[in-house]
Amino acid sequence: MSILLNSRFSCNSVIWISSLPNAEMSPTNRMVETMAAHSRELGFLFQHFSVSRIAKLWDLLDEISIHARDYSLKPIVHFDTHGHKDAGIYVDGEGAYADWNTLAEKLRAININTKNNLAVVGATCFGLQAIKPISIQTEVPFFLLLAPEDDVTVGFLEDNVPNFYRTLFELGDIDEAQFRHLSKKFKYFHCEKMLFIVIARYLKEQCKGKGGAERRERLITEIFSQGMEKTPDNLKLIRKKLKEGLRPDQGLLDRFTGIFLIGRPCSFSMEDLENFIESSSLLS
């Protein structure tokens, strides 16, 4: 069974944020020049910002969030710098790294104000690390993230990134644009896919089969340890109530989607999840 996730989002601008040494700016300057031409031809707003301090990066992201809230800005935020697997993204003027956790917080504020409509392109080495702080118990920092899992060369970026944006704004299809131009090096994070996998794993490991039985037995032990008499009738009654009480329903999924997806409609239902678990061993 496959679930068709909705990757449609609205976009009226690309905010390109650079933080590189001057000696490394030539490829960026060429890409920015091409992007400016694309924006004039295809009718989207393109802005390029160079930041030299971490505080300035945070201020810029805060400003983008305000414009998303007050002026209906619907951006793709593009990061053009170096990345470190653990430390974050590089800020040249200070020779330091802006950490992944704070970056996620700043992007989350933008995504909340766009109602889960933010796409991020992390054109940095290890850019996929931006997903590390994500939890389905809080608002997701972006609807989509395209970024490398490890190293990426400047040559690859220059050959493919402007063409990616051109295809995106010509076709209005980020899946096709990513497949044509970025798929060889960039991974594709989709917030609904993460939600689907996390809840499916929970259902499989905690609510179904052996995992569900073990969980119920642990709870039964806890209940009887509180002083209830362990008679056959009580044991039967407790097992029945636990089985009914732990049965997942649509309300469980709705509680997570309401927070994690920031109210955006979900492409799948609890029935889809349960059918997937029954028909697939991919999560084992």
Q: How do residues 33-68 score in pLDDT, each as one tens digit? A: 999 999 999 999 999 999 999 999 999 999 999 999
CATH topology of domain 13-190: Rossmann fold (3.40.50)
- Within 8 A by CB and 6+ apart from 255, the residues are none
Q: Which residue has the tokens 């040249």?
A: 92
pLDDT confidence tier of residue 239, bands split at 50, 70 and 90:
low
Instruction: For the chain, give every domain's residue range.
Output: 13-190, 195-279
Q: What is the DSSP-derived secondary structure letter of residue 115? A: T
The residue type at 148:
P
Pairing status of strand 88-91 against strand 75-80 = unpaired
pLDDT tens digits for range 105-152 = 999 999 999 999 999 999 999 999 999 999 999 999 999 999 999 999
Q: Are 104 and 62 in contact (CB under 8 A)?
A: no
> Where are the extended beta strands (E) located within the chain?
13-18, 45-50, 75-80, 83-84, 88-91, 96-98, 119-122, 144-148, 186-190
Sorting pLDDT into bands at 50, 70 and 90, what band is 238? low
CA atoms within 13 A on the CB side of 193: 14
